[in-house]
Amino acid sequence: MIANSIKIADGVYWVGALDWDIRDYHGYKLDGTTYNCYLIFGNNKVALVDNVYPGFSSQLLARIKDAFEKENRDFKIDIVVQNHIEMDHVHSLYEIIKKFPDVEVYSSTRAVSGIKNLFPSLEDFEIKTVKTGDSLDLGGKSFTFVEATMLHWPDSMFSFLNEDGILFSNDAFGQHICLSERFDHEVSNDLLMRVSKKFFANLVTPSSQLLVKKLDEVNNLGVLDKIKMIAPSHGQIWTKPGDIVNAYKGWATGECKDKITFIYDTMHHSTQKMAHAMIEGVFSEGFEVKTFYLHPDERSEAVTDVLDSKAICLGSPTMMNNPFPSLGDIIFYFNCLSFNKTGINKKAVVFGSKGWGGGAVKKISNHLHESGFEIFEEYDVLNIPHEEELKKCFEIGKKLAQSLKD
Ligand code: FEO
């Protein structure tokens, strides 16, 4: 196939793959993504940073070939820097090694067993390991490596291209988005921050405390001030890195708006009526509200708004003593994401209607408590919420918002 590379700095090219069609990535709803890889031409050596998802190696190789032609250099990759070994960034490594048998592969120590497990025929292939502060010279260009354990996998690392000030951050600072443009300044800031927030909420939240420490560590290495560009492995390249670094610092430390996110489902519209009454109570205190009615809406968008909300309100009817299945899905997802790792325990109201004995509200409440939410109120009603009960819903919403005012 024919596919062009894109020059992002002198001797540095984007050679990644565009996945226009992907709509679901391990439960994360998306409208396409990119698997970004970069080719760096040193005076002595050429390095490829990261690889692509199954099915995309021909696109990668076509862009690599194009970059070599533009640079008028012999078609030979000397080094692969493998920042992360999840399948969307490592799968084409095997083909690269087969095509360039003398290539040297550099990764974190923790990546080695994973690579050998994924590609058993590489059992005897030597992978060179690097640690934080190690460097690698390409001739006129050089990397400094920073291990980024649990950002977001044990093997993750960042690679910093010293002379050009480019941080290859792999998943961190990425976005699941697929556009014809490659840079931040070419797209609307609102769109870019929304997809970045969604990426953070769904993938980075559990590592919030580690992220804050890592930014300090990068700062102490003297790298943070030198970053002119952040080139992540998904989505747009940041030419104004301060925008996303500051946003990450805020999200990782629990910065929220005066905002409450409602997530609910309903069986015969009773729980829905309770939600709407509570929303009015929240509005009466001037708070922003975001709602997710989980029948048509889905979890990865909902948690994006939970990230910068001071509280959530979860509503579910009781079905056979349990929460509605749609709510069951998201409460387990809250267990995964651990929003309390951002340093704050968001408040939660749990509500719903029941036919006889109930059970959904208590079970959801227990789960949210386990996930680090502070339960502000539990409220369930029998069958249909009547006028007095809807009034109480309004009051719950109002008191919740009042309790969240600074
Ligand atoms: Fe984009 Fe952890 O993979």
Element containing residue 42 per DSSP (H, E): none
CB 196 within 8 A of CB 173: yes
Nearest ligand 1 atom to the CA of 152 is 2
Nearest CA among 357, 278, 358, 289 for reference residue 324:
358
229 and 356 assigned to the same domain: no
Q: What are the pLDDT digits (tens) for 311-348? A: 999 999 999 999 999 999 999 999 999 999 999 899 99
CA of 86 to the centre of ligand 1 (A): 5
Cβ-based neighbour number of residue 267 at 10 Å: 16
Element (H, E) at 104: strand 104-108
Alpha helices in 72-199 (DSSP H): 87-90, 93-99, 109-118, 189-199
Distance (angstroms) between ligand 1 centre and the Cα of 233 equals 8
pLDDT in tens, 51-69: 999 999 999 999 999 999 9
CA 99, distance to chain mean position in Å, is 32
Choose one of 227, 252, 277: the last residue of a domain.
252
From 220, 252, 284, give the residue that closes a domain: 252
pLDDT of residue 284: 97
322 and 242 in a common domain: no
pLDDT in tens, 108-160: 999 999 999 999 999 999 999 999 999 999 999 999 999 998 888 899 999 99
Q: Are 61 and 73 in contact (CB under 8 A)?
A: no
Same domain, 328 and 372: yes
CA 35 to ligand 1: nearest atom: 1
- The closest residue, in CA terms, to atom 1 on ligand 1 is 171
Residues 96 and 234 in one domain: yes
Give residue 304 CA to ligand 1 midpoint distance, Å: 18
CATH number, domain with residue 277: 3.40.50.360
Distance (Å) from CA 165 to ligand 1 centroid: 23
What is the 210 CA–ligand 1 centroid distance (Å)? Answer: 17
Range of the domain at 162: 6-252
In ligand 1, the atom with minimum distance to the C-alpha of 156 is: 2
Residue 83 has pLDDT above 90, yes or no: yes
Query: Is there a single domain that holds both residue 318 and residue 225?
Result: no
Domain boundary (233, 252, 271) is at 252
Q: How many angstroms separate the CA atoms of 85 and 82, rounded?
A: 7
Whether residues 157 and 221 fall in one domain? yes
* Protein residue whose Cα sits closest to atom 3 of ligand 1: 86
Does residue 359 fall inside a structural domain?
A: yes
- Please count the structural domains in the chain: 2
- Residue 98, domain CATH: 3.60.15.10
pTM of the full predicted structure? 0.94
180 assigned to some structural domain? yes
DSSP letter assigned to residue 383 = S
